[in-house]
Every structure is written in C-alpha cells, then in structure tokens.
Amino acid sequence: MNDAALDRLKRETRDLVKARLAAMSDAERRAGSAAACARVLTLDRITALGRGAAVLSYAPMGVEVDVREIGRALLRRGVTVCLPRVDWGHSTMTAVRVESVDHGLVSGRRGVAEPPDGEEIEPGGLAVIVVPGVAFDASCVRLGRGGGFYDRFLGKPGVRAFTIGIGYDEQVVPRTPAEDADARMDAVVTPGRVFTAGAGETGPRVSE
C-alpha cells in the first residue's frame, strides 16, 4: 500500500471513530471510563506493581477515556505516577512525576493538561505506560491523532514498559491502518474487552 492510500485509510478510520464517539452521551462516557479503568486495575502487570514502580498515564482531553482513577489507585499504593509534558518545539514528550492526577496541572498548548515541572523519569525506568489513541484493533495496533508523540517516545532506546492502549468499545475497528513506525500495544483495554498481543501463531488472545 502506498503512502497516499495509507494516509487516506487513517483519515477515514479517524473520521469513523470520531463520529462514533460524538454519538456517545456524557453518561455513557463516564460509565465506559469507569469500566475500562476497573479492567486495567485488575491486569496482572498492574496488580504486580510494587511501591516505587513507575507508571506513565495521561491527562484526558476531549472525549478520551478518563483514566484518572487509575492514577489515584496507583498513588494510594505508593506507585510512582507520571504524566506527559510536551515539548511542542521539538515534537517530543517527557514523563514527569506527579503527586496528584487531579491538582497542580497547567493547561498547555491545545489545552493539554500537564505537570508544570517536577522530577523527570527516564523512559527506560517506566514499568507500564497507559496510552490513549483514536482507534485500536484486536492485534493491539494503535492509531493515534497523527502527531507521533507516543510512537517516538515508545521507540526510544531502553523502553521496556508494558504498554496498555485504552479506549471505548466504539474505538475498536476490524483492522487499524498502520505503518512500521506506529506502535503496537502489549494490551488494549476497553469497557467490555481486553485484547492481548504476542500470542504467536494462535493469534491475539481476547477475553470478554
């Protein structure tokens, strides 16, 4: 598939998912966020985290799944929780430790809430990364907004974190259009399902 065709498929997939999300009510989004967070918190990779282990989550914007309950729960357990801080000039982001996912954040460019300052955790020091996206498929391939921030961050040398893509069921598509640089998640969690990559020739494992 040539670049123009792939770009067209990505655009069409984003438009499709955005229309599905726009049709959801606020109540549906709140219930979906709560259910998806509850599923994440029961994953073995999350329950096994010890005190001081570092997790990168995100500050939700727009219609993204509200993952703040994951951060609250991990902070109560003594896990180090980080949020992204974006350097728009260099199109990069860093993981910054926070004491709260609800307070002390500032509104950055495009309305993205982020830590104003704080201890930066090296990408290689993260145990888990919770990743937003526009669309996902059962093979745990992610389609982002198009900026490439997470793809570049996850592609840094030394990153060994378990990656969890999180979205609503409406964000799951039969096949995510992707290129080699697009990150594949280790797991994708929605309110109703958990998809796990890396099952070899048997294909992705899906639990309902």
Q: What is the CATH number of the domain that holds 67?
A: 3.40.50.10420
Q: Is residue 207 part of a domain?
A: no
Q: What is this structure's pTM?
A: 0.91
Pairing of strands 92-98, 80-87: antiparallel
Please count the structural domains in the chain.
Answer: 1
Q: What is the pLDDT of residue 198?
A: 65
**204 belongs to a structural domain:** no
What is the domain range of residue 40?
A: 3-197
User: Alpha-carbon distance 169 to 172, whole Å?
Assistant: 6
d(CA 152, CA 101): 24
Other CB atoms within 10 A of residue 70 CB: 27
In a domain, 134, yes or no: yes
The answer to whether position 40 is within a domain reads yes
**Does the pLDDT at position 202 exceed 80?**
no
Q: What distance in Å separates the CA atoms of residue 162 and residue 151, rounded to the nearest whole number? A: 14
Q: How far from 101 is each of 70, 80, 87, CA to CA, in Å? A: 9, 12, 20
Q: With the C-alpha atoms ordered 130, 147, 160, 105, is the resulting torsion angle positive or negative?
A: negative
Question: Is the confidence at residue 106, as pLDDT, over 60?
Answer: yes
Residue type, 94: T
Q: Which residues contact 201 (CB under 8 A, 6 or more apart)?
A: none
pLDDT at 26: 96
Mean pLDDT calculated for residue range 131-142: 94
Per-residue pLDDT averaged across 75-80, rounded? 97
In a domain, 71, yes or no: yes
Taking a C-beta distance cutoff of 8 angstroms, is the pair 20, 12 a contact? Answer: no
> Is 138 within 8 Å of 172 (Cβ atoms)?
yes
Name the band, by pLDDT with cuts 50, 70 and 90, for residue 201: very low
What is the spatial distance between Cα 141 and Cα 187, in angstroms, rounded to a whole number? 9
Pair of tokens at residue 57: 């989550």
9 is a domain residue: yes
The verdict on residue 180 lying in a domain is yes
Question: Is residue 17 in some structural domain?
Answer: yes
- Which phi and psi (to 5°) does residue 28 adopt? -65, -40
